[in-house]
Structure 1
Amino acid sequence: MGKVRIKVLFFVLSVMVVLIGCSGNSTGSNEYVYELNFNIQSNTTHPFYTEAIEPWAKFVEEETDGKVKITVYSSSALGTLDTAYEDIKGGVYDIGYVSPMTNIDTDLFPLSIGDLPFAFTDSLDVMKVMEKYRDNFLTEMSDQAVWMTISSTDAYQIYSNEPIKTIEDLKNKKFRTEGPYNIDLVKHWNSVPVSINYVEMYEAMEKGTVDLTEYTSIGALGFKLEEVSKHLTKIDKNVAQLLFLMNGSAFNNLPEDIQKKFEEVLNPKLGELIGQLYHTQSADSIKTFEEKVKDKGGSVIIPSEEELKEFKKPSKEIWDKWVEEADKRGYQGQEMMDYFLETSEEEGISKPF
């Protein structure tokens, strides 16, 4: 009799363990729910979250009939952009985005061509060109990370307290910037590059550690740069590409039909939402900045075509250096550049020099 009781008790406990183990990952209809963590750098009031990431998370849940749930972690809660590529590959979180410009010493180097000065000015163009480009030249990406889509921020502008109308106005100015290409360009402009992370640029401008900074017009409002600068010089210097990736194991754990749904519907939708956000709101952000600084004598400065050519002129040397660097790394640098220029031209994008 004692043995029977023990068997019954063991059976009951086994059932309880199974039920407890399944409760957190099943719907009311007992269908398994795949929960994916999405780490972003912006806070929950930024348009990046409210108009792109949050709607996409809801779209995913609707399109998969609740089988996939996206949990968004804002304000770099699970990791910063500097370590994003390693974090995604290592499974610190399931979905995130990386900057090719800050990962040039990885297998993402081929994509850094899109971060060159004056290569792109519009986020929608990035997706059109770079999706084609990666099919040809990003052939060795780690299987620990799965390509979702690529987009970008809006274009970078110059923020300063003294008006910057021509390249001569930049001479000997302390210029906050990041990344090897941007540092090279600033040097060509006879400015003094100061490599400070964007999260510290408000304080750097406020304290006078730097004379000016570069940033996107949408992002600048988020950081309230109108409080520490009076002028915006619109030169559309470059964009910061955003490569969205999913952890390889997380992707492989999804059923084949859901994998296909991501590839054909969900990933393109994410790129579309990001692209549209930065494409449509840039002009309004510049106008808002102008309104906010008007009372303190601030302005938005738009250089003439001739003045803009002077800003762009040094970019040729930097693009040529990229080809040389690609060759050193074992790539066919000129072939990659030729394809990039040809594809860009097909999309109506002219080279800057």
Structure 2
Amino acid sequence: MKAKRLFSLTIIISILSLVIAGCSTSSSNNSKENETITLKLATYVPVTSQVYKYVTEPWMKRVTELTDGKVQFDAYPGEQLGKAQDMLKLTRDGVTDIGVFPANYFPDNMPLTNALAGLPNLSMTSHQGTVAYNELLQQNKELLETDFSKNGLVPILGHVSPTYEIWTTKKEVRVPADLKGVKTRTLGGVANEVYEYMGAVPVTVSHTETYEALEKGVIDGAGYSSVGVEASGTADLLKYATFPHIGTAIHGLVVNEKVWNGLPEDVQKAMKEAGQELVEQSGEKYDQDTEAFNKEFSKTGTIVELTDEEKGKWEKVTKEFTEKWLREQGSKDFPYEEVLNQYKESLEKYK
């Protein structure tokens, strides 16, 4: 009888132990699910830049909203974690969880996006380019693999700036021949080749270093969008603006792949959703700011009004450059022409 009671007591104790353990595990899991996730985000632009105001900051805010405060961010703008040219490496190596930087700075790492950014006469507005590029990013596996996966990055969105134009301190530029010998700030990559083809002297200068370079005469002008001029504070140094659509900048908001894989599915979904919302909004705001800035600049500087003949010369030389550049890439392993044509098709839909 005693043996039976002892056996029964042992069974009851075992069952209670399992119940308590289960409750403890459940409590631990719930605690983990409700745990705050703090992610580090770095970018080279200051908080005054449109890239920060219209893309970076609202994206962080929206992700926090969509996750009911579960995801928080430690942001490091203005090159606090490293120079612009280091941003891809810093994100890939996990120094920062999330990075915001232009593909233009990394022609070797992001060759396809760099080509779409540097080649002239593609997107005409920020909205058009941003919507078309993100559509391409979702449809073209080669682009995703070559420019992002191989670098250990997961893209949330790509933002296309307004077109880059020619801004100069002393010399009015009306036709490509006027660029001969002009030291011009570029973002590097294909953009350098475009300016070299037209006789200019391309100088790779980062956004944060442009003012000093202009002020000291290191460069005579800059390949910039209107909002880029505004954000860099260089408007007071620049006297002339010529608008032949010489490329653009394509910024990626990207997450370190290992960090991404470790995030809960609901957080990944929130990040993607927040990014998609900004695809439409950010480009429209950029275009509004472009129009407003150009009106303001024209009060103190000169926006060059090109004749039809002068416009024809720009179209001729930029078309020649693109055809030549594509021929030269023929022996390389990247499908430049295929991606370019697909991008053009998307651009046509959003004119």
Query: In which range does the TM-score fall when normalised by the shorter chain?
Result: 0.7 to 0.9
Q: Distance in 1 between matches of 2:151 and 2:164?
A: 32
Q: Deviations over 1:152-185 (max 9, x none)?
A: 2222222222322333433333333342422222
Say if 2:280 is the partner of 1:275: no
Structure 1 pair 148–339 and aligned structure 2 pair: CA distance change class (3 A) = same
Aligned-partner SS, 1:98:
strand
Is contact 1:324–1:333 with CA below 8 Å preserved after alignment?
A: no
Say if 2:177 is the partner of 1:175: no
Is contact 2:99–2:255 with CA below 8 Å preserved after alignment?
A: yes
Q: Distance in 2 between matches of 1:64 and 1:99?
A: 27
Structure 1 pair 284–183 and aligned structure 2 pair: CA distance change class (3 A) = same
Structure 1 pair 231–331 and aligned structure 2 pair: CA distance change class (3 A) = closer
Say if 2:329 is the partner of 1:306: no
Structure 1 pair 180–63 and aligned structure 2 pair: CA distance change class (3 A) = closer
Is contact 2:41–2:75 with CA below 8 Å preserved after alignment?
A: yes
Q: Distance in 1 between matches of 2:70 and 2:328?
A: 45
- Find the counterpart in structure 2 of residue 285 from structure 1: 293
The alpha carbon displacement at 1:302 in A equals: 2.8
Say if 2:188 is the partner of 1:188: no
- Find the counterpart in structure 2 of residue 212 from structure 1: 221
Say if 2:155 is the partner of 1:150: no
Say if 2:77 is the partner of 1:74: yes
Opposite residue 123 of structure 1, the aligned amino acid is S
Aligned-partner SS, 1:138:
helix
The alpha carbon displacement at 1:325 in A equals: 5.2
Larger radius of gyration: 2
Q: Distance in 1 between matches of 2:134 and 2:328?
A: 22
Q: Distance in 1 between matches of 2:40 and 2:205?
A: 29
Is contact 1:181–1:318 with CA below 8 Å preserved after alignment?
A: no
Structure 1 pair 343–184 and aligned structure 2 pair: CA distance change class (3 A) = same
- Find the counterpart in structure 2 of residue 234 from structure 1: 243
Aligned-partner SS, 1:146:
strand
CA-atom RMSD, angstroms? 2.7
- Find the counterpart in structure 2 of residue 319 from structure 1: 322
Q: How many residues align?
A: 316
- Find the counterpart in structure 1 of residue 230 from structure 2: 221
The alpha carbon displacement at 1:105 in A equals: 1.4
Structure 1 pair 62–133 and aligned structure 2 pair: CA distance change class (3 A) = closer
- Find the counterpart in structure 1 of residue 134 from structure 2: 131
Deviating beyond 4 angstroms after TM superposition, the runs of 4 or more aligned structure 1 residues are none
Picking from 253, 262, 266, the partner of 1:257 is 266
Structure 1 pair 270–344 and aligned structure 2 pair: CA distance change class (3 A) = closer
Q: Deviations over 1:266-316 (max 9, x none)?
A: 12124344323322211111122223x2xxxx3222323331221232222
Say if 2:111 is the partner of 1:109: yes
The alpha carbon displacement at 1:139 in A equals: 4.5
Picking from 27, 50, 56, the partner of 1:53 is 56
Unmatched segments (≥5 aa) in structure 1:
1-21, 349-353
- Find the counterpart in structure 2 of residue 5 from structure 1: none
Aligned-partner SS, 2:276:
helix
* Percent identity (aligned): 26
Q: Distance in 2 between matches of 1:169 and 1:324?
A: 26
Q: Distance in 2 between matches of 1:207 and 1:85?
A: 29
Q: Distance in 1 between matches of 2:99 and 2:323?
A: 31
The alpha carbon displacement at 1:72 in A equals: 1.8
The alpha carbon displacement at 1:321 in A equals: 4.3
Q: Distance in 2 between matches of 1:67 and 1:138?
A: 32
Aligned-partner SS, 1:313:
helix
Structure 1 pair 186–39 and aligned structure 2 pair: CA distance change class (3 A) = same
Is contact 1:159–1:229 with CA below 8 Å preserved after alignment?
A: yes
- Find the counterpart in structure 2 of residue 65 from structure 1: 68
Q: Distance in 2 between matches of 1:47 and 1:195?
A: 21
Q: Distance in 1 between matches of 2:278 and 2:196?
A: 36
Question: TM-score, normalization: structure 1?
Answer: 0.80
Q: Deviations over 1:170-214 (max 9, x none)?
A: 333333334242222223323333343343332232233332222
Structure 1 pair 84–209 and aligned structure 2 pair: CA distance change class (3 A) = closer
Q: Greater CA deviation, 131-140 or 110-119?
A: 131-140
Unmatched segments (≥5 aa) in structure 2:
1-27
Q: Distance in 2 between matches of 1:51 and 1:335?
A: 31
